[in-house]
C-alpha cells in the first residue's frame, strides 16, 4: 500500500472528541480508565482481598447505608432479578408504577418469574405519585402486597420520583410491603439515602452516574429484606444473596469477579468523594436546569410535565408533530458527531433525550446544546433561537450564587 493511500476507510477522520450525550453509558474519566488497565490479580489472594474490601465498603458511602451492598458482574437487569428472587415467592403480589420503559421491563420480569404485578399507570410524563401508592396500599386490607417497586430516575421519560415521599406513603398506609427502587441512573446524580429513607432493596448499575463501563450492578439491602430472603421461595442460584454475602464478608466473591471493573469502581468512588457528593448533586441539578432552559427557549416541549419530577440526569424532549426525532438524531451524529438518546417504546420517533450525567461539566453540556440547536436548524424543525444563551444564563447565574463566587 502506498504511504499516501487511505485504504482503511472511505470516511474522513473526524477531529476532536465525540459528544456522548445519551443517558448511559456515559464517558469514563481518564483516571478510571487508567485504573482499569492494571494487571489482573489472583482473586483468591491477599492483594485482591484488599481491593474487595475497599470497594465493598466504599460503595456503601454512595448508597448512604451501613448495611451490605452486593456487587454482581451483571447489568442492572441482573440486580432487578436478584431483588425479586431473593425476597419473594411464586404468586406474590407486587405493586409497580409504570413511569416509563424501564418500569415496563421490570414488570415484565416480575411476570416471567411468576409474580402477580399490580400496576399504577401514568402517562410517562410524571414520576410515581406517593398519594396514589398510599391509596392503593390502604385498599390492601389483607396486606397481600409483598413489595412496592419504583424506578427512581426513569431515563426513558426524564422523570425522577422523590423516594422519601414514597417511604412516607408506605408508612402512612401502615403497610409492611418491602420498598424496592431502581436507581440505575439516579445513583451518583441525585441524593439517595438508602437507610434514612427506609428503602429495603436499592439496585443500580455502573455505567451511568458511577462513571464506569457497563458490567457491574449494585444491590443495597436492608435487614428487613435479608429476613425476607430467608423465607422466599423463588428459585435463585447465580443471583443468590447468601453466596455473595458469605464471601463478601472477607472481601471475596463466590465466582470469578470482574477485577478490571472493580479497579475502576475503587477509583470512581474516590472521584465522587473528591468532588463531594453534595457538589456532585448540585452539578447535575445545574446542568439539568440549563438543559431545560434551552428546550423551553427553543419552544419545544419537555416530556416531564411537572417540575416536581424533573430528572437531574436526562431531559427527554418531544419534537413537533410531523417531525421524526430519529432523523434529527441521525443528522446530529453525522454532522456534529454528537450522540443523543433515542425515544423508547411509546416515545419512539417522537422524542430524543439529552443526557447530562456522569463525568460531564458545564462546557460539555454547552457544547452539546449548541450541537442540538444547530441540528434543529438543519433538520428544519420549528424552533426559536437562543436556547444556548438561555442555558448559559442559568449556569452563570448559578456560578454567581455559589459559595466559591461569594468567597472571591
Query: 10 Å Cβ neighbour count for 141?
Result: 7
Q: Do the Cβ atoms of 326 and 342 come closer than 8 Å?
A: yes
Q: What is the pLDDT of residues 178-196, one digit of tens each?
A: 999 999 999 999 999 999 9
Asked if the bond preceding 25 is cis, omega within 30° of 0, the reply is: yes
Query: 10 Å Cβ neighbour count for 406?
Result: 8
Segments making up each domain of the chain, as ranges: 19-25+276-401, 30-273
CATH of domain 30-273: 3.40.640.10
pLDDT at 403: 64
Compute the average pLDDT of residues 295-324.
Answer: 98
Is residue 119 classed as helix, strand or coil in its secondary structure?
strand
pLDDT at 405: 53
* Local structure of residue 307 (DSSP, 8 states): G
Q: What is the pLDDT of residues 129-176, one digit of tens each?
A: 999 999 999 999 999 999 999 999 999 999 999 999 999 999 999 999
Q: What is the pLDDT of residues 194-238, one digit of tens each?
A: 999 999 999 999 999 999 999 999 999 999 999 999 999 999 999
pLDDT over 90 (residue 123): yes
Angle at 155 between CA 150 and CA 161, to 5 degrees: 35
Contacts of 5 (CB under 8 A, 6+ apart): none
Q: Is 230 annotated as a binding residue?
A: no
Average pLDDT, the chain: 96
Question: Residue 145 is inside which H or E element, if any?
Answer: strand 145-151
pLDDT over 80 (residue 407): no
CA 64, CA 50: separation in Å to the nearest integer?
Answer: 21
pLDDT at 408: 45
Q: What is the pLDDT of residues 341-387, one digit of tens each?
A: 999 999 999 999 999 999 999 999 999 999 999 999 999 999 999 99
pLDDT at 401: 82
Q: What is the pLDDT of residues 58-115, one digit of tens each?
A: 999 999 999 999 999 999 999 999 999 999 999 999 999 999 999 999 999 999 999 9
In which band, very low, low, confident or very high, does the pLDDT at 1 lie, cut at 50, 70 and 90? very low
Task: Tell me the three cell numbers of residue 61.
Answer: 458511602
CA 382, CA 323: separation in Å to the nearest integer?
Answer: 9
SS3 percent helix, strand, coil of the chain, rounded to 5, is: 45, 15, 40
CA 101, CA 104: separation in Å to the nearest integer?
Answer: 5
Looking at domain 19-25+276-401, which of 1.10.10.10, 3.30.160.20, 3.90.1150.10, 3.20.20.70 is its CATH number? 3.90.1150.10
pLDDT over 70 (residue 8): no
How do 201-205 and 338-342 pair as beta strands?
Answer: unpaired
Nearest to residue 364, comparing CAs of 17, 10, 15, 128?
A: 17
CA separation (Å) from 192 to 133, 203, 280?
20, 11, 12
Compute the average pLDDT of residues 9-28.
Answer: 90
Query: Which burial class, exposed, middle or buried, applies to 296 when counting CB atoms under 10 A from its CB (0-12, 13-18, 19+)?
Result: middle
| Grid cell 422519601 in the structure block, residue | 164
Amino acid at each position: 500500500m502506498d504511504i499516501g493511500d487511505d485504504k482503511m476507510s472511505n470516511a474522513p477522520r473526524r477531529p476532536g472528541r465525540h459528544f456522548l450525550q445519551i443517558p448511559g453509558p456515559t464517558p469514563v474519566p481518564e483516571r478510571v480508565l487508567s485504573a482499569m488497565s492494571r494487571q489482573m490479580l489472583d482473586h483468591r489472594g491477599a492483594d485482591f482481598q484488599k481491593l474487595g474490601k475497599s470497594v465493598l465498603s466504599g460503595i456503601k458511602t454512595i448508597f448512604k447505608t451501613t448495611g451490605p451492598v452486593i456487587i454482581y458482574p451483571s447489568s442492572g437487569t441482573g440486580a432487578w432479578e436478584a431483588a425479586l428472587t431473593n425476597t419473594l415467592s411464586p404468586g406474590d403480589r407486587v405493586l409497580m408504577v409504570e413511569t416509563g420503559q424501564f418500569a415496563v421491563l421490570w414488570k415484565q420480569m416480575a411476570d416471567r418469574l411468576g409474580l402477580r404485578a399490580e400496576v399504577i399507570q401514568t402517562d410517562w410524563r410524571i414520576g410515581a405519585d406517593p398519594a396514589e401508592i398510599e391509596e392503593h396500599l390502604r385498599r390492601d386490607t389483607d396486606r397481600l402486597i409483598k413489595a412496592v417497586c419504583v424506578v427512581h430516575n426513569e431515563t426513558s421519560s426524564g422523570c425522577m420520583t422523590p423516594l422519601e415521599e414514597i417511604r412516607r406513603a408506605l408508612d402512612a398506609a401502615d403497610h409492611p410491603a418491602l420498598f424496592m427502587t431502581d436507581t440505575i441512573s439516579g445513583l451518583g446524580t441525585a441524593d439517595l439515602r438508602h437507610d434514612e429513607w427506609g428503602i429495603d432493596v436499592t439496585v443500580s448499575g455502573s455505567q451511568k452516574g458511577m462513571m464506569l463501563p457497563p458490567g457491574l450492578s449494585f444491590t443495597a439491602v436492608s435487614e428487613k429484606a435479608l429476613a425476607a430472603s430467608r423465607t422466599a421461595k423463588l428459585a435463585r442460584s447465580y443471583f443468590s444473596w447468601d453466596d455473595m454475602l458469605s464471601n463478601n464478608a472477607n472481601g471475596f466473591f463466590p465466582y470469578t469477579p470482574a477485577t478490571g471493573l472493580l479497579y475502576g469502581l475503587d477509583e470512581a468512588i474516590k472521584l465522587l468523594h473528591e468532588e463531594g457528593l453534595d457538589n456532585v448533586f448540585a452539578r447535575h441539578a445545574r446542568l439539568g436546569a440549563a438543559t431545560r432552559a434551552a428546550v423551553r427557549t427553543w419552544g419545544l416541549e419537555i416530556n416531564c410535565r411537572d417540575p416536581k419530577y424533573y430528572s437531574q440526569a436526562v431531559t427527554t424532549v418531544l419534537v413537533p408533530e410531523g417531525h421524526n426525532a430519529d432523523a434529527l438524531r441521525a443528522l446530529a451524529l453525522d454532522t456534529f458527531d454528537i450522540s443523543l438518546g433515542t425515544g423508547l417504546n411509546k416515545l419512539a420517533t417522537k422524542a430524543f433525550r439529552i443526557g447530562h450525567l456522569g463525568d460531564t461539566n458545564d462546557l460539555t453540556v454547552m457544547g452539546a446544546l449548541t450541537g442540538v440547536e444547530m441540528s434543529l436548524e438543519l433538520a428544519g424543525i420549528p424552533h426559536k433561537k437562543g436556547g444556548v444563551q438561555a442555558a448559559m444564563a442559568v449556569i452563570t447565574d448559578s456560578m454567581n450564587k455559589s459559595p466559591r463566587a461569594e468567597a472571591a
